[in-house]
Structure 1
Amino acid sequence: MTKIAKIRAVIGGAVMTLGATTAMAQTDVTVAVPNPSAILWGPIWAAAGEGYFEEEGLSVDVQAVDGSSAVLQAMSAGQAQIGVPGPGPVLAARARDLDAVFIYNMYPKSLFGLLVESSTGITDPAELEGQTVGVGTADGAEVAFARAILGDAGLTEGEGYEFLPVGDGGTAAVAFLRDEVDSYAGAISDAAILRSRGIELTEITPEKFLGFFGNGVATTRGYMEENPDVIEGFGRALVRGMEFMSDPANSETTLDHMAAGNPQEGEDREFAGALLDAVVERMTPTDAYADQGFGYQPPEHWEAWHQSLQDNGVLDAPLDDLSAAFTNDFVATWNGQ
């Protein structure tokens, strides 16, 4: 295993450098991520820790900024060649004439999920009729996500079920232990906290709602067209990093790589392990698309996002060419197909 020759991490306003000093020429690549977590962007840190970027001739510098909009701003300003934004902000940016292109679907499954205690035996959202669904806040994104799932199951808020804001993570665990809620809609980090508190959970999110995928790797069209070798090398290393961290035999080493990226996040090893398991599950494609390899973007999932943003008023009108927002051109090469 190749050790990272230089890592500097300032977690508050985080600038984190990954790479190795070698005799061969290295191409510098700055990657903007929307928060300082290392586990949430695990394939990057696994690829760095195992020396995969170095083997591709890349010196990768990760800069943590505040949210997807800041990621896209960094890309637009030329401060980052690659970013890891969400799909919604990418489409909104394209409506403002930023030619950002999604090239790798890092989270092919939704970052939110609908969870029940495993002991209940509930396997279908329709079984939540008459029950209380815990959420972080009354107006959080998880509320709209859960409302759509339950509505699709034929349930109406206030009649078939009710929401109860119980906070995130630890406070949600208390709500479960006090039997204040029967289920919980939250992000993968919330699920990891609940599991680390000893609450056994089963996810009952229908597969079609998992299609509202999360953050992925993006760049500008100009950089992609001018530097195809960099894009190929970066993605190839990323896939290898994903494959490495997906192997349970590598869990401890993977957590060491993550701790190098964010030492504070690695202090609670049990929680870090639970979060890593949740991240790997969300980064693993569904059976319907597994044969396409890591990074593949189903066009119909982009269509769902596009329609949702119009329905919610984020986009005033449809984009002229939705297909220009993403490309799968590199996926086969990255996956060695």
Structure 2
Amino acid sequence: MNTRHTIRALVAGTALSLSGFAAHAQDTKVSFVLDWAWQAMHGPFLIALDKGYYEDEGLDVTIDRGFGSGDTISKVASGAYDIGFAEGTGLFKFNTDNPEERVIQVMVINDQSPTGVISMADAGISEPGDLIGKKISATQNEATVLTWPVVAKLHDLDPEGVEFLFVEPNLRDAMVLQGQANATFGFATTTVLNMVGTGLDLDEIGYTTFAEWGLKPYSSGILIKASYAEEHPEVVKGFVKATMKGLIEMLEDPEEGLALLKKREPLVDAEVEAARWELAKELSIVTPDVIENGISEVDPERFATAARQIAEAYGITLTPESENYFDPSFLPPLEDRRVPDAAK
């Protein structure tokens, strides 16, 4: 190649490189906050980030750990973060108290909440009536304590029939392990794996969810301030599309997501997180409704019923229709939201 051709090739290559740099520089920056410290549930986001699915949608996404769903909702509402991943039932009270800062859910990942009752397997707790006369370790004013009367009412039980032992969150599990409480209320995907981490086998632990007992609100997912969604619809749509791809791949084969989790947070126990993912799939993500209808396919009647139940628990008045809290318009087509056969 002569000198003139060499210069032309270099100029062309530089132009292409600059073009790519310019396109990347124009990506919209999106700040994303999780519900808690890094866990297996966050694998889909890491897959979408690592494989460039967010970048493919023109998004430059940064992800930070969270400090509880309530905190995440507040941070999204204030504009401290653009998008959050959190428990959707928290929106009922938040939006009632803060109508001008309304936050909506645009993608449901946990079709059912893993919140419920965790005990030793030999405690014999499998039905709501089994709790009557039992001691329950719990944290005062936590969602599970507030919703217990609703569960009790569904089964014609006296909610005062249990004795709550109110302690700090970090002591709840220990009270069950030490025999001071018969059971505890909490996220099974957290508490069960905490117990496994102490050396127990999974079959030594009993757990059931409030969803199995009839309280079936849609649970954790992607939350966005309503005004942000109105102002940046393409950003929201792209984020949801990329996240859905990451979730589908995590359901097909969780190994990649778990490896990325370990890389992001080296202190996590890989075996515990693998078990946590399987439990989350069982209790929350791959439910019969999701297998039949697709991921994030919200039934308005189920939503309204659960909203009224939650409103009763919190003593608030709200408009329970799903459109006040959930907007499905940002979701990809249903064919892109089907559960892969490998996950069923």
Query: Per the shorter chain, which TM-score range?
Result: 0.7 to 0.9
Paired with 2:147 and 2:40, the residues of 1 have a C-alpha distance of: 24
The within-5 A match list for 1:150-169 is 150-157=152-159, 159=161, 161-164=162-165
User: Among the aligned pairs, what percent are the same residue?
Assistant: 19
Indicate which of 223, 231, 240 corresponds to 2:236: 231
Partner in structure 2 of residue 195 of structure 1: 196
Which amino acid counterpart does residue 220 of structure 2 have in structure 1?
Answer: N
Partner in structure 2 of residue 331 of structure 1: 331
Indicate which of 107, 110, 113 corresponds to 2:116: 113
Which amino acid counterpart does residue 126 of structure 1 have in structure 2?
Answer: G
Indicate which of 257, 260, 267 corresponds to 1:257: 260
TM-score by length of 1: 0.74
SS in 1 for 2:118: strand
Q: Deviations over 1:225-283 (max 9, x none)?
A: 44433333222221222222224x433x322212333333x2x3333333333333344
Deviation of residue 88 (structure 1)?
Answer: 4.0
Moved more, 73-82 or 284-293: 73-82
Paired with 2:38 and 2:100, the residues of 1 have a C-alpha distance of: 29
The within-5 A match list for 1:94-133 is 94-95=95-96, 96-118=99-121, 123-130=126-133, 132-133=134-135
The within-5 A match list for 1:307-322 is 307-313=308-314, 315=316, 317-319=317-319
Instruction: Name whichever structure is richer in helix by fraction.
Output: 2
Paired with 2:320 and 2:280, the residues of 1 have a C-alpha distance of: 34
SS in 2 for 1:278: helix
The within-5 A match list for 1:204-243 is 204-205=208-209, 206-207=211-212, 209=214, 211-243=216-248
Deviation of residue 64 (structure 1)?
Answer: 3.9
Structure 2 CA distance for partners of 1:330 and 1:140, relative to 1, 3 Å = closer
Q: Deviations over 1:133-160 (max 9, x none)?
A: 432335533333445434533443565x
Which amino acid counterpart does residue 331 of structure 2 have in structure 1?
Answer: V
Paired with 2:160 and 2:207, the residues of 1 have a C-alpha distance of: 23
The within-5 A match list for 1:43-58 is 43-58=44-59
Paired with 2:156 and 2:326, the residues of 1 have a C-alpha distance of: 34
Structure 2 CA distance for partners of 1:289 and 1:42, relative to 1, 3 Å = same
Q: Deviations over 1:279-330 (max 9, x none)?
A: 3334414213433322233323432453245424563x32497523212223
Paired with 1:62 and 1:146, the residues of 2 have a C-alpha distance of: 34
Paired with 1:292 and 1:285, the residues of 2 have a C-alpha distance of: 11
Which amino acid counterpart does residue 156 of structure 1 have in structure 2?
Answer: D
RMSD: 3.5
Paired with 1:256 and 1:53, the residues of 2 have a C-alpha distance of: 19
Paired with 1:63 and 1:54, the residues of 2 have a C-alpha distance of: 17
Deviation of residue 104 (structure 1)?
Answer: 0.7
Partner in structure 2 of residue 297 of structure 1: 298
Structure 2 CA distance for partners of 1:310 and 1:336, relative to 1, 3 Å = closer
Contact persistence 2:106–2:327 (CA under 8 A): yes
Deviation of residue 218 (structure 1)?
Answer: 1.9
The within-5 A match list for 1:17-96 is 23=21, 24-25=23-24, 26-95=27-96, 96=99
SS in 2 for 1:216: strand
Structure 1: 4+ residue segments shifted above 6 A: none
Paired with 1:241 and 1:274, the residues of 2 have a C-alpha distance of: 19
Paired with 1:69 and 1:58, the residues of 2 have a C-alpha distance of: 26
